[in-house]
Amino acid sequence: MKKFICVLAFLISGTASAGLITVDFPSNASTSTAAGGQYFFSPSHTVEETYTSTGIDAVSSLNLALYLDFNRLNRGAFVNFDVLINSIVVGGLTFNEGDSLGLYNFSYSFAEIIGLGTYTLTLAATNFVPSGDGSVGFSESESFAQLSGDVASVPEPASIALLGLGLIGFGLARKRKSV
C-alpha cells in the first residue's frame, strides 16, 4: 500500500521544464527616473518594467542585450549599474568613456527567483557622474532581455484519464481480493 501511495504521489506531482521568454527592455512602456527618460548619470536614475503572465514560475538566468545609442562620458567617467529582478540584485554592468555605440550582451545566472509568472526587471545606476562628465543612454527599439527558468508542466487530459482508469482498476482488483 505504501508503494502504491508513493507511485500515485509521484504521478500526480507536477514536473518542471525550462522556459524562455524574450521581452523588450528598456521599452517605451518602461518607467524611467533618468534625465529625459534615458540619460543616466546619478544613483537616483533607474529604468524598470514589470512583465506579467510570463508562464515562468522561477527565473534562474538573464541575458540582457543593451544597445548603447548615446555615450557622452568624458574625462574618464563611467556609469555602474545594478541589474535587479524583483528587487534582487542579480549582477552589474559598467559603461565607460571609451565604449563605442552598439549592442552589448550581458549574461547572469543566479539562485532561482520565484515570481510565479510576474517579474520586474530594473537597471539602477549606482554612481554619480560629476557635472559636465556626460551620461549614457540605451535604444528602446534595439535592446531586449531574455528571462529563463522553470515552467510548471500541466498534465494533459489523456494522462489524467489514464491515471483515473488505473486507479479504478486498482480499486476493483482490491475489492475483488477482499470478497
- Check which CATH number belongs to the domain holding 142 and give it: 2.60.120
Residue 74 in domain: yes
The percent of residues in the chain predicted with pLDDT above 90, rounded, is 60
Number of domains in the chain: 1
Residue 5 in domain: no
Question: What's the pLDDT score for residue 121?
Answer: 97
With CA atoms as reference, report the closest residue to 108 among 80, 143, 82.
82
- Is the pLDDT assigned to residue 127 strictly greater than 90? yes
Domain around 40: 24-153
Residue 165 in domain: no
Residue 55 in domain: yes
Residue 35 in domain: yes
Residue 66 in domain: yes
With CA atoms as reference, report the closest residue to 85 among 121, 41, 40, 59.
121
What radius of gyration, in Å, describes the C-alpha atoms of the chain? 25
| Residue 139 pLDDT level (bands cut at 50, 70, 90) | very high
Asked if 96 and 129 count as a contact pair (C-beta separation under 8 A), the reply is: no
Q: What is the length of the chain?
A: 179
Give 24-68 pLDDT, tens digit per residue.
Answer: 999 889 999 988 878 899 999 999 999 999 889 999 999 999 999
**Where does residue 175 rank: exposed (0-12), middle (13-18), buried (19+ CB within 10 A)?**
exposed
- Is the pLDDT assigned to residue 85 strictly greater than 90? yes
Alpha-carbon gap, residue 40 to 19, rounded angstroms: 32
Residue 112 in domain: yes
| Residue 10 pLDDT level (bands cut at 50, 70, 90) | very low
| Residue 155 pLDDT level (bands cut at 50, 70, 90) | low
Residue 8 in domain: no
